[in-house]
Amino acid sequence: MKLTEEQQIFATKNHNLIYKLLNLRSLMIDEWYGIASIAYCKSIPNWDVTKGKFGNFAFLYMNNEINKVFQGENTGKRKGRKETCSLDYLISGSSSQGVDNELIDTITDNINYENDTIFGICIKNAKNILNIKQRKILDLCSQGYSQREIGEVVNMTQQGVNLNMKKIRDIVRLEYTY
């Protein structure tokens, strides 16, 4: 999909919508800008005046794309990860005397464990600041529940869950920056 010259000018004039959406959702700009900007560019050729204001239309496209990423990250969290194995696990045919490449290949992946560990500690520290309902929301979110499902469990509207999630993100972000 290539934008026409007119669409490119339009995109440049309105690109502040990307920053506005990311700020409204309390998402880190350097982490989410690429996803939001691609969705923003996809929205331009699909919009016409009969569909309402461009800002609303672009927000819909960007929100949908961001939500797809969130859903993809949360897929399977409630089931547990099948690829997890104990470091004590001995693969058949391996020796206990040397480094076994098969074992190393099994446990090596692209996860940055250092950042995950630091972030996990920050969340643990942030939990001390959160109230009981916010802790429950955070626990359910980490298990992959949607905001609607969380709202049903904690007896709150989806908007209430969203507001609490923004507060939780702000608290965790404060912990993470120190």
Return per-residue pLDDT of the chain as tens, 178 residues: 688 899 889 889 988 989 988 888 888 888 888 888 888 888 888 888 887 888 888 888 888 888 888 776 655 555 444 444 444 555 455 455 544 444 444 444 555 556 666 666 767 777 778 888 888 888 888 778 888 888 888 899 989 999 998 888 887 777 666 5
Sign of CA dihedral 169, 170, 173, 175: negative
Q: CB of 153 within 8 A of CB of 145? A: yes
* Whole-prediction pTM: 0.44
Cα 24 off chain centre by:
15
Would you call 117 exposed, middle or buried from its count of C-beta atoms within 10 A (0-12, 13-18, 19+)? exposed
Count of all residues that appear for the chain in the document? 178
Side chain identity at 176, as an amino acid letter?
Answer: Y
> How far apart, in whole angstroms, are the C-alpha atoms of residue 59 and residue 132?
32
d(CA 43, CA 57): 7
Q: 111-177 has which CATH code?
A: 1.10.10
What single letter denotes the amino acid at residue 6? E
For the record, the structure tokens of 64 come out as 């949908």
Helix 158-177 and helix 113-127, axial crossing angle in degrees, nearest 10 = 110
Q: Give the sign of the dihedral formed by CA 151, CA 156, CA 162, CA 164.
A: negative
Tokens representing 156 are 């709150």
In the chain the first and final C-alpha atoms are separated, in Å, by 42
